[in-house]
C-alpha cells in the first residue's frame, strides 16, 4: 500500500483525496497539510489521515511514501524540490511551476538525483476523447495539418489575470499538442480582441493563441475563462486524408416543453473524472513499481517554457519564435 501525503487540500486536492480513498486501489492518504487549517481538518476527517503543520514536515515524514502537490502554482517548486531531495515520488498539479527558470531547477535537481521522481498532472492525456483524436492522427486522417482547440471555463478565480489564461490554462493545450504531435512548438502568436464584460477590469478574455509546431502544423486555441456557459473543451484535427472531431462524453439529453437540453458541468471535475482516475492509478502503480513515466518534469518544463513565449507574444503583438531545446536523454523518448 502506497502511503500518500497531500499538500493543498482545496478544490482539486480534496477531489484527489476522494478518488484515492473511494475509487482507486493500492494507495492510502496518510498525511494532509494546507495553510487553510479548515481545509486540512476536513480532508483529514474524510480519509482518516494525520494533519501536518507544513509541507516540509509532511514530505520528511516516515509515514509518507509519495506526495501529491495540489497547492497554488507559486508553491509547487519548493515542495517538488523537497520531494526530490527526500527521494520521494511526487505528482505535481499543473503547471509544474510558474517560470522557465523555476521548472529548470526542478529538471536539474531530478537529473542530479539520477532517477525519475516527478510526474505532472496533465490529465487530459488520459482522456478517451483526446486519445481518439491522437490515434486518428497519422492513422485515419493521415498526416495532421491543422488543429483547432477550445478551452472554456464558466468563470475564473477572483484573482485571475490575463497571463494566467496562458500560464495556468493554455498549458493544457500546449502539453496536449506536444503529446499528440510528438514535437515541440516553434512559434507563438496571441490575439486579444474585444473583451467579454464578464471578466474583471483589464482582463483580456477570451484569447486566441496560435502555435506552429516544428514541422509546420498550425494550431489555434480559443481560451475563454469567463464564458458563462460551463466547462467545455473541444479539439478538431484536420489531416491530409480527413478530419477528426473529439467525441464528447455521453450526456443526458432532456426533451421537454418544446426544448432539447443537455447538461454541461461547471468544471473539470466531472469532465475529466475518468482521466484523473487513470492518471492517479498509474501514479500509484508506478510508485509501487519504482519507475515513473510521463507526463514528466521535462513535459512540465516545456509547457511552461512555451507558455512564457506565448506571454511574450501577448505583449509584443507579434510572432514570437520559440527557440528549440534539446530533450535530455534522461527523459527518454516518451
Binding site for ligand NAP (CB under 6 A): 7-8, 10-13, 33-36, 39, 55, 70-73, 75, 93-94, 121, 123, 168, 268
Between 58 and 188, CB nearer to ligand NAP: 58
Least Cβ distance, residue 75 to ligand NAP (angstroms): 4
Instruction: Choose among 246, 316, 301: nearest CA to 275.
Output: 246
Whether 121 contacts 93, CB under 8 Å = yes
- What are phi and psi for residue 83, nearest 5 degrees? -65, -45
In which region does residue 114 sit, left (phi positive, over 0), alpha (psi from -120 to 50) or beta (all else)? left
**Most distant pair of Cα atoms in the chain: their distance:** 64
**Cβ-based nearer residue to ligand NAP, 55 or 144:** 55
How far apart are CB 88 and ligand NAP at their closest, in Å?
16
To ligand NAP, the closest distance from the beta carbon of 228 in angstroms equals 19
Helix axes 171-181 and 297-316, enclosed angle (nearest 10): 120
Question: What minimum distance in Å lies between the beta carbon of 209 and ligand NAP?
Answer: 17
Report the distance separating Cα 29 and Cα 68, nearest Å.
Answer: 10
| 34 vs 110 by CB, closer to ligand NAP | 34
CB nearer to ligand NAP: pick between 55 and 206: 55
Contacts of 273 (CB under 8 A, 6+ apart): none
Give per-residue burial for 76-85: e unless 16+ CB within 10 Å, then b. bbbbbbbbbe
Q: Which residue has the cell 507526463?
A: 295
Provide, rounded to whole angstroms, the least separation between the CB of residue 213 and ligand NAP. Answer: 23
Q: Min. distance of Cβ 135 from ligand NAP in angstroms?
A: 22
Q: Positive or negative CA dihedral for 230, 262, 277, 295?
A: negative
Amino acid at each position: 500500500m502506497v502511503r500518500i501525503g497531500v499538500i493543498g487540500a482545496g478544490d482539486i486536492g480534496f477531489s484527489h483525496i476522494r478518488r484515492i480513498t473511494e475509487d482507486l486501489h493500492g494507495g492510502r492518504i496518510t498525511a494532509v497539510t494546507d495553510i487553510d487549517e479548515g481545509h486540512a481538518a476536513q480532508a483529514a476527517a474524510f480519509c482518516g489521515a494525520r494533519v501536518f503543520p507544513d509541507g516540509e514536515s509532511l514530505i520528511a515524514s516516515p509515514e509518507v511514501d509519495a506526495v501529491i502537490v495540489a497547492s497554488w502554482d507559486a508553491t509547487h517548486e519548493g515542495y517538488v524540490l523537497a520531494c526530490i531531495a527526500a527521494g520521494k515520488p511526487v505528482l505535481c498539479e499543473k503547471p509544474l511551476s510558474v517560470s522557465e527558470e523555476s521548472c529548470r531547477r526542478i529538471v536539474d535537481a531530478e537529473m542530479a538525483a539520477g532517477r525519475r521522481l516527478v510526474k505532472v498532472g496533465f490529465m487530459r492525456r488520459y482522456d478517451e476523447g483526446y486519445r481518439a483524436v491522437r490515434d486518428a492522427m497519422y492513422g485515419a486522417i493521415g498526416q495532421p495539418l491543422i488543429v483547432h482547440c477550445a478551452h472554456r471555463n464558466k468563470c475564473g478565480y477572483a484573482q485571475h489575470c490575463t497571463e494566467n489564461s496562458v500560464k495556468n490554462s493554455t498549458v493544457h493545450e500546449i502539453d496536449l499538442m506536444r503529446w499528440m504531435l510528438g514535437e515541440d512548438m516553434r512559434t507563438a502568436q496571441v490575439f486579444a480582441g474585444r473583451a467579454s464584460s464578464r471578466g474583471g477590469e483589464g482582463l483580456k478574455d477570451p484569447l486566441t493563441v496560435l502555435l506552429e509546431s516544428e514541422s509546420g502544423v498550425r494550431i489555434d486555441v480559443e481560451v475563454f475563462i469567463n464564458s458563462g456557459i460551463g466547462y467545455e473543451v473541444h479539439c478538431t484535427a484536420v489531416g491530409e486524408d480527413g478530419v477528426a472531431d473529439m467525441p464528447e462524453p455521453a450526456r443526458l439529453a432532456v426533451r421537454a416543453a418544446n426544448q432539447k437540453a443537455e447538461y454541461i458541468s461547471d468544471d473539470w471535475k466531472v469532465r475529466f473524472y475518468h482521466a484523473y482516475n487513470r492518471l492517479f492509478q498509474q501514479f500509484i502503480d508506478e510508485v509501487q513499481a519504482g519507475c515513473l513515466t510521463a507526463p514528466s518534469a521535462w513535459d512540465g518544463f516545456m509547457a511552461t517554457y512555451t507558455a512564457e513565449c506565448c506571454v511574450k507574444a501577448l505583449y509584443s503583438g507579434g510572432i514570437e519564435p520559440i527557440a528549440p531545446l534539446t530533450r535530455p536523454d534522461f527523459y527518454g523518448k516518451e
